[in-house]
């Protein structure tokens, strides 16, 4: 792409001592926009007239727009008309369809998870069902998004599915009406200890605050909870207003939660809690991780800055930018970054350089020398740049071992599909335990499927060896390379024994999901949740909880 040449025009008025540059600057700005639009328009027209092959104009323009926006920040994106449903789902959690997740398996699409109580589950669809046809259209070879579009439709219209199911000799044909699907942002809530409630909030859609309030009120009324663990791990954010409302459940009316500041003054706004608090005395612990972003960071950051609760987990994602959705014609929209946000201490938690992140998108370590100090309401020191650092840091010690490679090849999923055929019922999520016989059946299944894998270390070894050959070092280091290769080659039998606990946990989660759906999966995972155990320990030891927040003159149980 040709660089735009900036032309500075200096006007010297010899007969006057004053020079007005304002109008000239505005004119230059308008000229540059018009000039580049004209260039783009001319290039497209010339290609249309003279290019040797037929052009796909929509694809070309979309690619051009995407490449242009890619140079800005990761969150400014173009959403064409075809993605309008996705936009609605992002903000409301609502769509029209069957209520199930699907995934690609080889050249086929299968049901990966029907939502409990939704049309797919009520009409007998199961995880593992292979979709052959949707309304008479063969779907083999189609992408997940293409099949998803076929499954969606106007509420009340009938969908006809043709499926292959494990254990059935002939394809099944199932018909039922599509419905309006509302995904509850609160995936699960329940009492996890004496007078301690737990809520898992998955997203900040337009019902997030209401559903959270309903969940906590239910536990207050039925179980008289006095403390709450709010889990926003893996919550990528959503609507600022919902985040502000949630903070308002615990802080006095009019408390400043977040301020946005942008180039355009219309983006400047201060958000304050809109109502009197509903749970003003409730002890609060928030669970976060490096996938907690945006609105999750507004809630956790403001709760931390206001010393209203303790944050437990990993450093959060580090997204301190605000986006607005703007219509741009022909059904398309531009999700554009318009401002940075600042939480009550005055800090912005945006990662200093969002172009260099970990593989999962989260921010890496930022040295204190590159950040600034701020103070919470009670005088605790916090820092800007690179997310929210929890008051109690935990670490995910899981490694990229054989358990991951089994998961990546969908073998837990496939075994669970067969498991349900011979196990009509299993114990509840709070009591279920994978038997030794079940674990052996799974390892036999891995052998039957000729499971093997190549570690990332092996791949790097091959690159190292190939480079050594290029440089003529392979012969002189032959023994060393042979010894290293022997150590790096996976011993599958040994690895299964060494990682039995993690393999059993992942397999159990997949099995439980078939009987008790998402809520059962969450209930089971909470049994061994290390972050949750830290949270409960803090809540039970009131002295530690108050000590972190610098709360004085409180009588607590030690």
| Number of structural domains found in the chain | 4
CA-to-CA dists, residue 113 to 103, 201, 403, 512, 518, angstroms: 9, 19, 21, 12, 9
Asked if the structure places residue 547 within a domain, the reply is no
The DSSP symbol for 4 reads P
Domain boundary among 120, 154, 182: 182
Please give the structure tokens belonging to residue 129. 């069902």
Q: Which of 245, 283, 319, 513 is an active site residue?
A: 319
Burial, 80: exposed, middle or buried (Cβ in 10 Å; 0-12, 13-18, 19+)? middle
pLDDT of residue 333: 92
Residues 323 and 360 placed together within one structural domain of the fold: yes
According to DSSP, the residues that pair with 105 across neighbouring strands are 108
Residues 345 and 223 placed together within one structural domain of the fold: yes
Of 394, 433, 390, 391, the C-alpha closest to 533 is: 394
Residues 301 and 190 placed together within one structural domain of the fold: yes
Asked if the structure places residue 221 within a domain, the reply is yes
pTM confidence score: 0.87
Residues 244 and 367 placed together within one structural domain of the fold: yes
Query: Residue 550: what are its φ and ψ, rounded to 5°?
Result: 55, 45
Of 460, 483, 465, the C-alpha closest to 475 is: 465
Asked if the structure places residue 82 within a domain, the reply is no
Place of tokens 């108050």: 546
Domain boundary among 393, 422, 453: 393
Residues 103 and 43 placed together within one structural domain of the fold: no
| Cα dihedral 297→299→304→310 (10° resolution) | -100
Residues 482 and 423 placed together within one structural domain of the fold: yes
CATH at 200:
3.90.226.10
Can you tell me the mean pLDDT for 429-441? 97
Q: Which residues of 139-159 are buried (b: 16+ CB within 10 A; e: fewer)?
A: beebeeeebbebbbbeeeeeb
Asked if the structure places residue 15 within a domain, the reply is no
CA distance 538 to 547: 10
Residues 500 and 456 placed together within one structural domain of the fold: yes
The answer to whether 198 and 526 have CB atoms below 8 angstroms apart is yes
pLDDT of residue 365: 60
| Cα dihedral 82→87→93→94 (10° resolution) | -40
CA distance 281 to 480: 64
DSSP secondary structure letters along 371-432: S-EEE-TTS-EEE-SSSPPPSEE------S-HHHHHHHTTHHHHHHHHHHHH-S----TTT-
Asked if the structure places residue 312 within a domain, the reply is yes
Mean predicted lDDT score pLDDT of the chain:
90
Query: Residue 521: what are its φ and ψ, rounded to 5°?
Result: -60, -45
Residues 140 and 213 placed together within one structural domain of the fold: no
Could you confirm whether 294 is annotated as catalytic?
Answer: yes
The answer to whether 557 and 544 have CB atoms below 8 angstroms apart is no
Could you confirm whether 319 is annotated as catalytic?
Answer: yes
Please, which residues have CB within 8 angstroms of residue 94's CB and are 6 or more apart in sequence? 88, 180, 181, 182, 183
CATH at 130:
2.30.42.10
Tell me the residue length of the chain. 558
Q: How confident is the model over 8-40, as pLDDT tens digits?
A: 323 233 333 444 445 566 688 889 999 999 999
Asked if the structure places residue 9 within a domain, the reply is no
Residues 316 and 238 placed together within one structural domain of the fold: yes
Asked if the structure places residue 549 within a domain, the reply is no
Asked if the structure places residue 1 within a domain, the reply is no
- 77-79 and 108-114 beta bridge pairing: unpaired
Of 229, 133, 199, 123, the C-alpha closest to 535 is: 229
Please give the structure tokens belonging to residue 183. 């995904």
Residues 57 and 124 placed together within one structural domain of the fold: no
pLDDT of residue 308: 98
pLDDT of residue 366: 65
CA distance 269 to 324: 13
Could you confirm whether 335 is annotated as catalytic?
Answer: no
Q: Which of 227, 294, 300, 495 is an active site residue?
A: 294
Can you tell me the mean pLDDT for 372-394? 94
| Cα dihedral 46→50→53→57 (10° resolution) | 20
Q: Which of 129, 305, 307, 529 is an active site residue?
A: 305
Residues 159 and 281 placed together within one structural domain of the fold: no
pLDDT at 556 over 80: no
Q: How confident is the model over 128-161, as pLDDT tens digits?
A: 999 999 999 999 999 999 999 999 999 999 999 9
Q: Is 389 helix (H, G, I), strand (E, B) or coil?
A: coil
Q: How confident is the model over 176-224, as pLDDT tens digits?
A: 999 999 999 999 999 999 999 999 999 999 999 999 999 999 999 999 9
pLDDT at 233 over 50: yes
Of 392, 380, 396, the C-alpha closest to 312 is: 392
The answer to whether 124 and 161 have CB atoms below 8 angstroms apart is no
pLDDT of residue 86: 76
Q: How confident is the model over 310-367, as pLDDT tens digits?
A: 999 999 999 999 999 999 888 899 999 999 999 999 999 997 665 555 555 555 566 6
Domain boundary among 365, 393, 421: 393
| Domain hosting residue 275, numbered range | 186-393
Please give the structure tokens belonging to residue 344. 């009550």
Residues 66 and 110 placed together within one structural domain of the fold: no
């Amino acid at each position: 792409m040709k660089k735009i040449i900036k032309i500075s025009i200096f006007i010297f008025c010899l007969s006057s001592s004053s020079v007005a540059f304002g109008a000239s600057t505005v004119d230059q700005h308008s000229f540059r926009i018009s000039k580049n639009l004209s260039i783009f328009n001319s290039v497209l027209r010339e290609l249309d007239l003279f290019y040797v092959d037929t052009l796909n104009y929509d694809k070309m323009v979309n690619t051009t727009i995407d490449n242009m926006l890619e140079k800005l920040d990761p969150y400014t994106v173009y959403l064409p008309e075809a993605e309008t449903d996705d936009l609605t789902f992002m903000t409301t959690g609502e769509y029209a369809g069957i209520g199930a997740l699907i995934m690609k398996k080889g050249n086929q699409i299968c049901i990966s998870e029907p939502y409990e109580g939704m049309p797919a589950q009520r009409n007998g669809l199961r995880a593992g069902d292979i979709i052959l046809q949707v309304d008479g259209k063969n779907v083999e070879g189609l992408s997940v998004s293409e099949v998803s579009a076929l499954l969606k439709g106007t509420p009340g219209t009938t969908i006809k599915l043709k499926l292959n199911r494990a254990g059935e000799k002939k394809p099944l044909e199932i018909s039922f009406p599509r419905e309006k699907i509302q995904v509850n942002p609160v995936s699960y809530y329940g009492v996890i200890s004496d007078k301690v409630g737990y809520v898992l909030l998955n997203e900040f859609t337009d019902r997030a605050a209401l559903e959270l309030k309903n969940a906590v009120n239910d536990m207050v009324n039925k179980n008289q909870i006095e403390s709450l663990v709010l889990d926003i791990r893996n919550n990528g954010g959503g609507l600022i207003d919902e985040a502000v409302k949630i903070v308002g459940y615990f802080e006095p009316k009019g408390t400043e939660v977040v301020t946005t500041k942008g180039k355009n003054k219309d983006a400047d706004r201060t958000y304050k809690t809109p109502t009197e608090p509903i749970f003003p005395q409730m002890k609060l612990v928030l669970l976060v991780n490096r996938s907690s972003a945006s609105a999750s960071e507004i809630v956790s950051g403001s709760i931390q800055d206001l010393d209203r609760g303790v944050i437990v987990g990993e450093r959060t994602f580090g997204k301190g930018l605000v986006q607005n959705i703007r219509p741009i014609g022909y059904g398309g929209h531009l999700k554009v970054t318009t401002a940075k946000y600042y939480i009550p201490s005055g800090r912005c938690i945006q990662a200093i350089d969002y172009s260099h992140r970990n593989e999962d998108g989260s921010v890496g370590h930022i040295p204190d020398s590159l950040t600034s100090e701020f103070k919470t309401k009670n005088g605790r020191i916090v820092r800007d740049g690179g997310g929210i650092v929890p008051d109690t840091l935990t670490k995910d010690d899981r490694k990229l071992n054989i358990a991951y490679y089994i998961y990546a090849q969908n073998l837990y999923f496939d075994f669970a599909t067969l498991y349900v055929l011979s196990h009509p019922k299993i114990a509840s999520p709070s009591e279920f335990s994978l038997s030794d016989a079940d674990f052996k059946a799974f390892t036999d299944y891995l052998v039957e499927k000729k499971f093997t894998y190549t570690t990332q270390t092996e791949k790097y070894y091959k690159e190292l060896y190939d480079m050594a050959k290029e440089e003529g070092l392979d012969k002189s280091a032959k023994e060393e390379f042979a010894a290293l290769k022997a150590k790096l080659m996976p011993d599958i039998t040994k690895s299964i024994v060494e990682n039995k606990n993690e393999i059993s946990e992942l397999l159990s989660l997949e099995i439980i999901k078939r009987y008790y759906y998402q809520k059962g999966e969450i209930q089971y995972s909470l049994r061994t949740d290390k972050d949750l155990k830290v949270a409960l320990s803090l809540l039970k030891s009131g002295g530690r909880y108050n000590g972190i927040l610098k709360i004085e003159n409180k009588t607590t149980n030690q």
